[in-house]
Amino acid sequence: MPSERLQKILARAGLGSRRTCEEFIIAGRVTVNNQVAVLGQKADPAIDTIKIDGRPVEPAEALTYIAVYKPRSVISSLKGEGSLITVRDLVDVAGRLYPVGRLDVDSEGLILLTNDGELANRLTHPKYGHEKEYRVLVARWPDEEQLDAWRRGVVLEDSYRTQPAEVRVDSTFGKGAWLRVVLKEGRKRQIREMGQQTGLPVVKIIRVRIGTLQLGGLKPREWRHITPEEVTALKGEKAPQPATSSKGQRGKAGGRQKKSGEARRPRGGIGKGRRR
């Protein structure tokens, strides 16, 4: 294998996104042949000894891609807070998996879990501009001026102006409305603050799409392996035409290993699977 940049080797080994692995190198936590590595350095994992925090970097694992419906009160990161569980706790698959596309604890919807650091970098780095789509319930019926403010960009409390968003009204809900919102960025609690700044209190947020990956029929706490076709589309490669018959088998958690596209619910007291 030819030499390649260290951050790519670390990301492919499942140690995080490429940006995260760059931070490991900058912090002096990575060595190559017992010498502290520098950003931009190349190595060949077949002949070089690569370590992080003094521990050898294990060979790259088989790549895994899992779509999860994160419910409210579940943490998107790998470390829980107090009694709250994490999105990783919902998935009974062995190995190192990292969340892509985080949601705050009060929001719900689609999160991708993967050990593919290259894909994680593509989906989260601002330069790629991957879309994220949400259903947003606001407490008041929006007027055109409020919607246009979202479309132009909203100045947040920290003086940051958001990028233009796509937004339309989907349906009424009491005195409020369900909006369909598409963003190409993801600042912390951005949608809630956009609502606050424009007089549209946000009641509920459900993410339904990351790039080309759809939430589909997943219910809260359910998860599934995504299909090879979905992985291809996420990576920006030419996606094959959909099959004429796409109904997949459904199954319960705790049974046999499920094929791509099959929804499952977590084990360990969080809830048993059910057929839908």
Q: And the tokens for 261? A: 């596209």
d(CA 142, CA 200): 7
Q: And the tokens for 154? A: 């909203």
Question: Is there a catalytic annotation at residue 92?
Answer: no
Write out the DSSP string of 13-47.
Answer: TTSS-HHHHHHHHHTT-EEETTEE--TT-EE-TTT
d(CA 4, CA 144): 51
Sort strands 65-70 and 176-183 into parallel, antiparallel or unpaired. unpaired
Q: And the tokens for 208? A: 């339904």
Which residue in the list 48, 89, 92, 104 is annotated as catalytic? Answer: 104
- In whole angstroms, how large is the CA radius of gyration of the chain? 21
Instruction: Collect all residues with Cβ–Cβ distance below 8 Å to 253 and sequence separation of at least 6.
Output: 92, 264, 265, 266, 267, 272, 273
d(CA 170, CA 135): 9
Report the catalytic residues.
104
